[in-house]
Amino acid sequence: MALPDFLVAGVPKSGTTALHAALSRHPGLYMSPIKEPKFFLTDGPPPSKGGPGDVLTYREHVWQRDRYEALFDAAPPGVPRGESTPLYLYDRAALRRIRDLIPAARLVVILRDPVERAHSNWTHLWSAGLEPEPDFVRACAEEERRITAGWASFWHYTALGKYGAQLDYAFSLFPREQVLVLRYRLLVDDPAATLDRICAFLGAETGVLTEIPRENVTAHPEHTLGHRAAALGMRVGVAAGGLLPGSAAAAAT
């Protein structure tokens, strides 16, 4: 079976895209060409509805077993294979699926200050024109209503930052020696030493990677009439896209 040996499993907006890019440069590791396949987030097809943009994101899921395994077909023999889906730690069903299919998998978890993480998460969606609430605090106040309405977990700004319960559950499924937990600031302030810790944990040669590339950095746009108009167009487009198949939905945005 061509399945991963390790997963960058958490958390969103904590440098996981940059970490995936860095690990991809290591000759002794193989990272999936699709950074975030989300395979373990569902047991079958993903949902057909959700918050703004969720349906289009769901269509990006690599949820079929053969397609998922194909992501790792090109890995050289004996080289540890990995992927990065930072929502795995938050999703208890995903963790159980990982345990059931690849119980020996190693999990890398990067934690960021939960307030900084939540604000970065909101900024990401606001900048993309998907977040309808221009005030971060009010957007957080909408969280329970959005969860009840079935919005995807990337909208769970505060719940995603409750790391204690998430780690407790992960440790109930996996031995602690299979889970590496690091702080986001270590990636930023001491990338070479942090990358060495991760490589050693994964069984790859240390001293090879020295920097984290600048990836997936979100700029916060001003709340101008132009941005409001563009955001409204984006939300209308993704709403229409939920009713359109495949490429037609993509064209709508």
In the chain, what are the domains? 6-248 (3.40.50.300)
Question: Measured between alpha carbons, how far is 38 from 68 in angstroms, rounded to an integer?
Answer: 9
Q: Provide mean pLDDT across the span 164-175.
A: 98
**Two tokens, residue 73:** 């077909």
Element (H, E) at 78: none
Tell me the per-residue pLDDT of 70-83, one tens digit each, with 9 for 90 and over: 999 999 999 999 99
Task: Give the residue-averaged pLDDT of 161-167.
Answer: 98
pLDDT for the residue numbered 214: 80
Q: pLDDT category, 226, cuts 50, 70, 90?
A: very low
For the chain, give the percent of residues with pLDDT over 90: 83
DSSP 76: P
Q: Taking residues 151-163, what's their average pLDDT?
A: 98
176-215 as b/e: b if 16+ CB within 10 A:
eebbbbbebbbbeeebeebbbebbebbebeeeebeebeee
> What's the CA gap between 96 and 183, in Å, rounded?
24
Confidence of residue 1 (pLDDT cuts 50, 70, 90): confident
Tokens matching residue 68 = 């998922």
* pLDDT score recorded for residue 216: 52
The model carries a pTM of 0.84
Across the range 132-161, mean pLDDT stands at 97
As to burial, measured by CB atoms within 10 angstroms (0-12 exposed, 13-18 middle, 19+ buried), residue 230 is middle
Among 200, 11, 35, 196, which residue's Cα sits nearest to residue 110?
11
